[in-house]
């Protein structure tokens, strides 16, 4: 083998090794972020049986802006550490969560009784009215407490919601924007309330109302309203964030309850 061919092969090997290192580094960072989210109860959707469903590979790839194989390696690490369990045909779930100063507790014990509600007793009207009381304050707190990393994730979710014309995908990104705003408060109790709200947003009556109301025009208005909220957060203006969220939820209320 001449020196030129040897150089070319060495260059290719080094490039592959570098790419692999970058991918592994990204998966490690993502695994660390998700691990913290699990420990701080900032991630997952409660099911009716009390388990906490972990986001899908697709949703996480969108959130972090990486390929799904990078997410898969991060999830492998979480599974090896005992943070999550994958169940074929059922999805991925968060395991028992360690609590500082105590033994681990089961996921269905993460929720204090005053914050539990039977879904059958919560109407879409009651849910949107509750959101109008809670989410403007959460948006204001997000404008105060958000980190640069938080804002980057928020902007990615906004971009993904802007770029899709599929209702189901837009709804996922819409929910992600609101979830991130709650997470950016960095307040465990507020994030606990968000988990309850998100579980109610999956209620059949709520989903049916959203499907009836959805249109390209409404989606465009929501995107514009989300942008106003995000701009207020970026500018560290809690008053503007509160007002923008109030205007947005008023639009949501009108669209869902009058459709």
Instruction: Divide the 259 residues of the chain into consecutive groups of 10 and give the mean pLDDT of each group.
Output: 51 46 67 82 72 86 85 88 84 69 41 50 83 96 92 92 91 91 89 80 74 91 97 96 97 85
> What total of structural domains would you count in the chain?
2
Domain co-membership, 69 together with 189 = no
Q: Are 102 and 116 members of one domain? A: no
**Positive or negative torsion for Cα 231, 237, 241, 243:** negative
In the listed set 86, 107, 128, which residue is the last one of a domain according to the structure?
Answer: 107
117 shares a domain with 245: yes
Q: 83 and 131 share a domain?
A: no
Residues 159 and 142 in one domain: yes
Same domain, 118 and 99: no
Q: Which two tokens stand for residue 148?
A: 């640069």
Domain holding 188: CATH number?
A: 1.20.120.530
Burial per residue of 182-193, b for 16 or more beta-carbon CB atoms within 10 angstroms, e otherwise: bbbbbbeebbbb
Same domain, 121 and 229: yes
Whether 50 and 162 share a structural domain: no
Q: Residue 194: which H helix or E strand, with range?
A: helix 188-201
Query: What's the pLDDT score for residue 20?
Result: 45
- Quick one: pLDDT at residue 117? 55
Residue from 69, 51, 47 nearest 60 by CA: 69
pLDDT of residue 100: 42
Domain limit, last residue, from 107, 127, 158:
107
121 plus 236 within the same structural domain = yes
Domain boundary among 71, 90, 107: 107
Shared domain check, 200 and 93: no
Range of the domain at 244: 112-257
CB-based burial label for 233 (10 Å; 0-12, 13-18, 19+): buried
Query: Residue 14's domain is classified under what CATH number?
Result: 1.10.10.10
The torsion of the CA quartet 225, 229, 231, 235, rounded to 10 degrees, works out to 160
- Which two three-digit tokens encode residue 7? 């150089």
Q: State how far the Cα of 43 lies from the Cα of 55, in Å rounded to an integer.
A: 8
CA dist 121 and 234 (Å) reads: 37
Residues 160 and 74 in one domain: no
Whole-angstrom distance, CA of residue 12 vs CA of residue 1: 15
pLDDT of residue 223: 96
216 and 189 assigned to the same domain:
yes
Q: Name the pTM for this structure.
A: 0.60
């Amino acid at each position: 083998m001449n020196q030129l061919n040897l150089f070319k092969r060495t260059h290719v090997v080094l490039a592959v090794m570098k790419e692999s290192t970058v991918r592994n580094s990204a998966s490690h960072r993502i695994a660390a972020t998700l691990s913290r989210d699990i420990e701080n109860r900032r991630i997952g959707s409660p099911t009716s049986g009390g388990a906490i469903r972990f986001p899908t590979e697709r949703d996480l790839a969108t959130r972090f802006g990486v390929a799904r194989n990078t997410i898969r390696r991060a999830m492998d690490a979480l599974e090896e550490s005992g943070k999550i369990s994958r169940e074929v045909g059922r999805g991925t779930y968060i395991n028992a969560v360690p609590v500082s100063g105590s033994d681990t507790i089961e996921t269905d014990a993460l929720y204090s009784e005053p914050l539990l509600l039977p879904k059958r007793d919560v109407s879409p009207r009651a849910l949107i009215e509750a959101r109008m009381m809670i989410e403007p304050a959460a948006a204001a707190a997000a404008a105060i407490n958000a980190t640069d990393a938080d804002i980057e994730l928020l902007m990615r979710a906004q971009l993904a919601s802007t770029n899709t014309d599929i209702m189901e995908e837009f709804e996922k990104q819409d929910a992600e924007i609101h979830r991130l705003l709650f997470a950016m408060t960095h307040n465990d109790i507020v994030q606990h309330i968000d988990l309850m709200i998100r579980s109610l947003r999956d209620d059949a009556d709520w989903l049916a109302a959203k499907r009836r109301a959805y249109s390209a025009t409404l989606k465009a208005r929501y995107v514009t309203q989300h942008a106003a909220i995000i701009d207020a957060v970026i500018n560290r203006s809690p008053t503007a964030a509160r007002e923008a969220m109030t205007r947005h939820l008023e639009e949501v209320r009108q669209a869902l309850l009058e459709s």
